[in-house]
Every structure is written in structure tokens, then in C-alpha cells.
Structure 1
Amino acid sequence: MKILLIEDEEELSAIVTRGLRKCGYAVDAAYDGEEALDYYNVNEYDVIVLDLNLPRMDGLEVLKNIRQTDKKTKILILSARSAVDDRVQGLDAGANDYLTKPFDFLELEARIRVLSRIAYIQQGNELSCGGLNLNMAAKAVSFQETKLPLTKKEYAILEYMMLHKGQIVGTEQLLNHVWDSDAELFPDTLKYHIHTLKKKLCDAGSHQELIRNVRGMGYKIEEAGE
């Protein structure tokens, strides 16, 4: 899952970015409103974490600019503006959630996790497919009773695919949601991670091909017969 963090306090931005990456998220960091829109206009994000007190363009203006054409991207305001009127204004302008500073990182990550699964709320934190189970809160994966020792990138790929179960997910789509925008990737990076995922599933006892290559289009995860 890919996050755009818009925060002008560089030390705080670095701390939050480091924490989110440790949780397995891909993160792009912008330090002012105009830079944030530059990132937004060339990338696709699952969640945007937005400060309001930004140089060059206020956070509310950034929010309104995005919401003119984009009603779907999840936006969480993270701001020192704690008055009720500020929170109401932010939510009315189109934010999905509002967290005031100072904050606990665990709460921030939990709120991001909730926002990321809103479209799948009927499933809660648990996603499943053909004996494969993924817990988004614990970031744990198992097949039947066997835990899968996945790397952070393998987990991120699998989580995104399971959130789009039954759909073809393109290579560029996966790369965009799992890696930072400035990450230097080898041509076969994604193929390698998909291969290791399939091998770990096989080693855990999966006798069906849950993850399929769709020639010329990308990858698909589904149960046999779907």
C-alpha cells in the first residue's frame, strides 16, 4: 500500500516515514502544498496523510484541489489545529479522518489501516482466498495452519492483490502501490517477488495456483473455479 505524507516539519516527516516503512508501506514525502500536488498528479496513492499548516499552499487548499476531481482517495488530516471548528471544516472539505497533534504513531497507523479497508469493511481485518489467510492488523499470513514467513514487500504485494481478489492487477499498478516513487528497481524485481510468494505458498502445502500470471496484463489471485 502506498501513502503520500504531506508534512512540512522535516524531523517529524522523517520519523513518520521511517515508522510507516517499517510497517511495510511505501511512502512518498512532500514538504509543501505545491510539491504535494506534484506528487499526487503523477502517482496513485491508497491513503494521503495531510498536514494543514503548509508553506506555499495551505493544506485545506490541497484537499479541496484533490476533491474537485477525486472523491475516492482516502485522506487523513494530521494537524495541530485541534479546535472543533477546524476539524469540522476539514471533514466538510472532504477528509475521511482527522487526527490532531500530538499523536501516537500506533493510532496513526491504525487509522491508516482502517481507511485502507473501507471498501472491504464487510471483511474486517481478515482476508482469505483458497485456504490462504491474511490479517491486516497483525500483518500475518498463513496457509491452512502454516504461517508464511513473508518479507515486507511480499506481504505488501499479497495484501494488495487480496484486496483486489478476482481482479487482474497490472504490473505498473503493483509497482506503484508497493514501492516508493523514487525506488530504483531492477526490471525483474516484481517477477522475483511473485515467484518467491508462489514458492512459499507451495512449500506451505498449497496445491492450487492461487496467484496466476495473466499474459500481457499482470497478475490475479483467486480460488480454483472462480
Structure 2
Amino acid sequence: MRILVIEDDEEMAETVAVGLRRARMAVDVALDGSSGLERAMINDYDVIVLDRDLPGLHGDDVCAELVAAGRGSRVLMLTAAATSDDLVDGLNLGADDYLPKPFDFPVLMARIGALARRAHPAVPPVLRHGDIELNVAQRRARRGGRTLDLAPKEFGVLELLLAANGRAVSAEELLERVWDESADPFTKTVKVTISRLRAKLGDPPVVETVAKSGYRI
């Protein structure tokens, strides 16, 4: 899952990003509305966590631009104002959910998970292929009853391959969906992660390399 956090409070933005990364999500951070909107227009995010009260380009304007552009990302708006009018205004702008500050991190996680499920309703909470079982909600992976100790990127790659249901997924798509914007597209990052994932999955091999197409399970 790939998340964009647009929050001008650098400490809060970093705290949220660290927590989401610990939950095996790929996270990009923007500290103002303009750079956040630019990232959101270029990259495909499952959920955008958007502070409403941004300096410069206001969060309302960012949300309106995203809706007008038809971006498929779900928007979770954060604000220090928690009146009913504020809630209605945010939702009327096109935000998918609204969370007053301060908030408990588990609540934020639950809201993001709910929005991601709405963005991708076809993906079940537990993905299976043969004796492989991936519990997306609990972030746990097993094969043949054996728990797999997967790094966050390995988990993300496995999730994407299983969700593709036999379709070959290109290295470019894996890099876009699993890594954040700091990933170098000219490195062997994906190939190395695939190699480690194969080793942890063990035999018989299930991750297949498809010439000129990518990888599939």
C-alpha cells in the first residue's frame, strides 16, 4: 500500500510516516500543499493523508484539484477544527473521510485501511495461492503452516503478485506500488527483493520470471 502524507508540521508528518512504514506501507511525505499536489498528480497513491490547514496552497484547494483531475486516491483529511460545519465542508470538497486532531494512531491506521479497501474492493483481506496465505489486514504471511518473516518490501511484493491473480507484474509497477519516490528505478532493487522473497518462500518455487513482462505467481 502506498500512502502520501501532506502535513506542514514536520514532526507530526515524520511521526505518522514512521508509524505507517512500520506497518509495511510505502510512504511519501510533502510539507506543503504545492509539493503534495505535485506528487499526487505524478504518482498513484492508495490513500492521501491531507492536512486541511496548510500554508500557501490550502488543503481545501489540494483536495479540489485532486477531485477535478479524477485521481483515484482516497483522501483522508486532517484538521484541528472539529465542528460539524468543518466536517461537512471537507466532505463536500471531495474528501473520503475526516479525522480531527489530535488523534490516536490506531484510529488513523483503521481509517486508512478502510479507505484502501474502498479503493480496491476486489482484493480480499486474505490472499491465497496453493499453500501460501497472506493476511493483508494482520500483515502476516504463511506457507504450508510455516510463518514467513518477511521484510516490509518483500511483503508488499508478495501482496501485489498474489493480488494480480496470475497476471505478470512488471518491475516498474512493483517499484511504483511498493517503494516510495526515493527508490532509484535504475538499480536492481526489485530483482534483489524478488530473490530474497523466493529464498524465504522456499520450494517448490512459485515466483516466476516472465520474459519482457515481469514476475508472476
| 2:110 equivalent to 1:110 | yes
2:144 matched residue in structure 1: 144
Q: 2:51 is matched by which residue type in structure 1?
A: D
Instruction: Report the secondary structure of 1:68's partner residue.
Output: helix
State the distance in 2 between where 1:161 and 1:88 align: 39
- % identity of equivalent residues: 41
The answer to whether the Cα contact below 8 Å between 1:120 and 1:163 also exists between their aligned partners in 2 is no
Instruction: Report the secondary structure of 2:14's partner residue.
Output: helix
1:214 matched residue in structure 2: 210
5 Å matches for 1:165-180? 165-180=165-180
State TM-score, norm by structure 2. Answer: 0.91
2:72 matched residue in structure 1: 72
By how many angstroms is 1:73 displaced?
Answer: 1.3
1:33 matched residue in structure 2: 33
| 2:9 equivalent to 1:20 | no
Taking a change above 3 Å as real, the CA distance of residues 122 and 184 of structure 1, as seen in their structure-2 partners, is closer
The answer to whether the Cα contact below 8 Å between 1:130 and 1:210 also exists between their aligned partners in 2 is no
State the distance in 2 between where 1:74 and 1:90 align: 13
State the distance in 2 between where 1:117 and 1:44 align: 15
By how many angstroms is 1:123 displaced?
Answer: 5.8
The answer to whether the Cα contact below 8 Å between 1:131 and 1:143 also exists between their aligned partners in 2 is yes
- Number of residue pairs matched? 217
Q: 1:111 is matched by which residue type in structure 2?
A: R
2:161 matched residue in structure 1: 161
State the distance in 1 between where 2:177 and 2:79 align: 25
Instruction: Report the secondary structure of 1:102's partner residue.
Output: coil
| 2:7 equivalent to 1:7 | yes
State TM-score, norm by structure 1. Answer: 0.87
Unaligned runs of 5+ in 2: none
Q: 1:33-70 deviations in whole A, cap 9, x for unaligned?
A: 11111212222212111010001111111011011122
| TM-align CA RMSD | 2.0
Instruction: Report the secondary structure of 2:44's partner residue.
Output: coil
